Structure 1
């Protein structure tokens, strides 16, 4: 089970033109925005990644506006655990369960998830918040990740799992977000 005190969110590389070219990009961006807002309402730590932003461009504006300015972690390795600043942020957070969303599922999301699993973290891929240019590559990545110990969830499933109780102070805000 996910718990607010032990869960964080990693937003992987939803940036530039590529964000508009992935399979079901509009749905990906819409669902990811809900996830980010929900994570804020639940006070989860959020790590925000951009792959080579000089070449690929910045994070999609409607998502960037929901994220803390000047907190983006720039990376060049596909696996974010190959970036010292990311590893430091993970360690500083004290979090062991990570929700991961982003693009591309079969490259940066996949390799970052594997990197986190290899150092003992629990990983849940938010399946309606990951994509690749082809649906085939997304499904391939999800299948491989399941076989390697990651789990799948959805925006609605993980947010309500984190709320846990309809009497929780965040319940109404999360309910409105999902509707």
Structure 2
């Protein structure tokens, strides 16, 4: 990891996933902690994924997993392939803020397939009160894909990847997370 300071303008130019994390875990100088995360299909309302920090910690301890920085910031999702044809996805993030006020908590997310940008998202939570717990809901419109692209994605598990970059105070990167996605036939899996 280099000492370069990445800005929103830098990450908005990316057309493929980053090879490494762009900031260390200790870049989170404002003490933001993610407590709970849920993903739902906006078409059906079905909850596709739900976890909490407590559940994740228990699961890691149960598995005896060695925890390293990269595994703390990476996740592999497995969704039903019907999700590729839905119109939208909703996420709900519950997070806690440290003892300082947080201005312009901004999330920029970039989704790629085989090193091609599918879609980018840019959300801003204008202000967070010190020591507060907050809920942030984001609605994602799914990228417009051809039937051929959908089939190729279904046949390429974990080749859809995303980078999520979190900034405060307009341009200070405090977190960077990565995800990979597989789309399967839920009836068979």
TM-score range (shorter-chain normalised) is under 0.3
TM-score (norm 2): 0.23
Which is higher, the Rg of structure 1 or of structure 2?
Answer: 2
If each structure's strand is expressed as a fraction of its own residues, which one has the higher value?
2
TM-score, with structure 1 as normaliser: 0.24
Larger helix proportion, structure 1 or 2? 1
